[in-house]
Structure 1
């Protein structure tokens, strides 16, 4: 039973999602670091790093994780707008959960960050799979 669940959950899509998630985080940190080292205010660096990492995440998720190869401009624009909106929503969710756990429940901020990160990763995967890169039914000829 556990093996069946494991095999269902740990597939090419999930593993590649996790790998590219780590790379997306690295992109975010590197962009932030370079900008701060260049003398840019941490707030602007944070915003720019978020934009660059969301764009990177969109590209790798579209091509490598969910294998969505439709490159028609209208279709790509719909995907990228949905992707960005979902990432903004999960960012708000992250902030709210952190406030609840740290300020209201008095949990350790690092434990809270780990738990919230797990929830956000799962939510982002769910958003991507269900709403953004869902497989379209073949159109009849």
Structure 2
């Protein structure tokens, strides 16, 4: 436990803790996204675009909770402020969904990349874009 505390202190001193914890939860969000995506493909036989939308919805809900609470420590006062923050979060995630679907389409239909390669590539782009959106455009710092 002492080792973990020292690691956190080192990251905080270098102002890297927020990036680290975002990447940690971003990684979990990506795992959720990929797991739901391939469950939809393999278990339910959905088209890859339908699987992408479903995996996006589930991962956005997961990401909102983790980003608001543990990454950016956002505090909202009242339902209206929370709804505005959630709406901004969904809006910017819709932009990343468009990026995700566009990249999946190009990689699969034109470049003929496999589903796994395409999904991993698009998730890297989406994680970076979502960090920028969340840090600078969505969450209120306390």
Pairwise same-fold verdict (TM > 0.5): yes
Residue 3 of structure 1 corresponds to which residue in structure 2?
Answer: none
Which ranges of structure 1 fall in alignment gaps of 5 or more residues?
Answer: 1-6, 137-141
Give the stretch that moved more between structures: 93-102 or 125-134.
Answer: 93-102
Residues 112/23 of structure 1: CA separation in 2 closer, same or farther (3 Å cut): closer
Which of 70, 84, 92 does residue 78 from structure 1 map onto?
84
- Say if 2:137 is the partner of 1:124: no
Q: 1:90 maps to what in 2?
A: 96
CA distance in 1, matches of 2:121, 2:41: 28
CA distance in 2, matches of 1:36, 1:108: 18
**Contact 2:26 / 2:63 at 8 angstroms: preserved in 1?**
yes
TM-score (norm 2): 0.66
Contact 2:89 2:134 in 1 (8 A): yes
Where structure 2 has 5 or more consecutive residues not aligned to the other structure, the ranges are 1-13
Structure 2 CA distance for partners of 1:83 and 1:42, relative to 1, 3 Å:
same
- Partners of 1:80 and 1:35 lie apart in 2 by 29
Aligned Cα root-mean-square deviation (Å)? 3.3
Q: 1:93 to 1:68 in 2, by over 3 A?
A: same
Report deviation, 1:135. 3.0
Assess, with a 3 A threshold, how the Cα gap between structure 1 residues 69 and 36 changes in structure 2: closer, same or farther.
farther
Is 2:30–2:123's contact at 8 Å kept on the other side of the alignment?
A: no
How far apart in 2 are the matches of 1:127 and 1:22?
Answer: 17
| Distance change (3 Å), C-alpha of 1:130 and 1:91 | same
Instruction: Give the 3 Å change call, closer, same or farther, for CA 42–71 of structure 1 in structure 2.
Output: farther
Other-structure match for 1:23: 28
